[in-house]
């Protein structure tokens, strides 16, 4: 479905082209698919619009232990080899996909772009997905992976004193929750980096403004949350909706990148304000005329490349600070 005509002019010409091509393809709305069909469709579509992906010196698979004894897969990508190189700072990345779809491979392009531009390693976690694994499994996997990384960074040739966390969409939600958990666990992070995170217990105004025709749709958000949450009341849990968390003082500085024409844009703005009110340093960028998931469309949408560069610059500055916050 194409966007309503009165909002269509807000989109950049390239974004309009992308949405027109998607509409012409005639794929069924994701909210009409089974969870398994959604996983397969998302994986097939990943990477099609990515910009050329940098080659990494390290491309490794890790096994991360979590609290229930499970071993989670993660990918480690680094622009520098281990031997003879100084320990690199590292970004722990949580992919998007509504807690239901996605993997490190669907977000490989974004992760490698950030690794290349920020000259850091990226560890991308294959956290467990709904509907097989309900809330708060993914949230627990995220904080457990961070704790594991702080303990094993040195053996991986990474700098345990320079760790950032980040993610997009549902991965941005996990980032916000993990930053709060890191503060409570006494883990110093250099940065929490979030692309268009979901943060609120209820839909905000932008969910109605951009309800249909802007790639991510309001119905799709409810579809994903319905798979992950055992009960609707869980949307009001501070772990799931960080805007409900009254105390965010002392969490890591934040960089937030938002798409202007996104059902979630108001949630990202509100969370940035929530952090600022608690004294947290926030750098928030709104990329005009683009939609949710635009950072994975660098071949078609130039704002994706700008966002990659902005996020990488935020990481570089955070890693160059003398001390963790």
Q: So which residues are the catalytic ones?
A: 169, 262, 292
Instruction: For 37-93, give the DSSP string.
Output: HHHHHHHHHTTTTPPPPPPPSEEEEEEEE-TTS-EEEEEEEESS-STT-PPEEEEEE
Q: Output phi, psi for 64, to 5 deg.
A: -110, 125
Q: Output phi, psi for 50, to 5 deg.
A: -70, 150
DSSP annotation of 101: S
The number of beta carbons lying within 10 Å of the beta carbon of residue 322 is: 4
Q: How far apart are CA 142 and CA 175, in angstroms?
A: 8
Which residues have C-beta within 8 Å of that of residue 319, sequence separation ≥ 6? 89, 118, 120, 162, 164, 190
Which neighbouring-strand residues pair with 63?
73
Alpha helices in the chain (DSSP H): 5-8, 13-25, 35-45, 108-118, 137-152, 170-185, 205-209, 218-228, 265-277, 302-320
Q: How far apart are CA 81 and CA 103, in angstroms?
A: 24
Q: Give the relative orientation of helices 137-152 and 170-185 as an angle to the nearest 10 degrees.
A: 60
- Residue 104 contacts residue 74 (beta carbons within 8 Å): yes
């Amino acid at each position: 479905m194409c966007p309503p005509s009165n909002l269509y002019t807000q989109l950049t010409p390239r974004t309009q082209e992308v949405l027109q091509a998607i509409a012409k393809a005639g794929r069924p709305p994701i909210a009409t698919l089974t969870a398994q069909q959604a996983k397969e469709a998302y994986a097939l579509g990943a990477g099609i619009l990515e910009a050329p992906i940098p080659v990494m010196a390290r491309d490794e698979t890790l096994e991360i232990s979590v609290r229930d004894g499970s071993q989670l897969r993660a990918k480690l990508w680094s622009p520098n080899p281990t031997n003879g190189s100084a320990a690199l700072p590292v970004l722990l990345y949580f992919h998007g996909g509504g807690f239901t779809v996605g993997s490190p491979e669907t977000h490989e392009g974004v992760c490698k772009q950030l690794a290349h531009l920020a000259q850091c390693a990226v560890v991308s976690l294959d956290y467990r997905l709904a509907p097989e694994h309900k809330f708060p499994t993914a949230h627990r996997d995220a904080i457990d992976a961070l704790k594991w990384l702080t303990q094993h960074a040195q053996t991986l040739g990474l700098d345990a004193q320079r760790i950032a966390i980040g993610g997009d969409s549902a991965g941005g939600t996990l980032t916000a929750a993990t930053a709060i958990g890191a503060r409570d666990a006494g883990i110093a992070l250099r940065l929490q980096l979030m692309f268009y995170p979901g943060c609120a217990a209820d839909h905000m105004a932008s969910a109605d403004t951009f309800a249909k025709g802007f790639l991510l749709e309001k119905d799709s958000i409810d579809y994903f949350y319905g798979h992950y949450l055992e009960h609707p009341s869980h949307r009001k849990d501070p772990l799931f909706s960080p805007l409900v968390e009254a105390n965010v003082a002392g969490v890591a500085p934040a960089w937030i990148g938002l798409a202007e024409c996104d059902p979630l844009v108001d949630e990202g703005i509100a969370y940035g304000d929530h952090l600022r009110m608690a004294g947290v340093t926030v750098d928030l960028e709104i990329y005009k005329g683009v939609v949710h998931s635009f950072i994975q469309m660098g071949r078609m949408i130039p704002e994706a490349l700008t966002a990659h560069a902005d996020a990488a610059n935020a990481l570089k500055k955070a890693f160059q600070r003398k001390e963790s916050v």
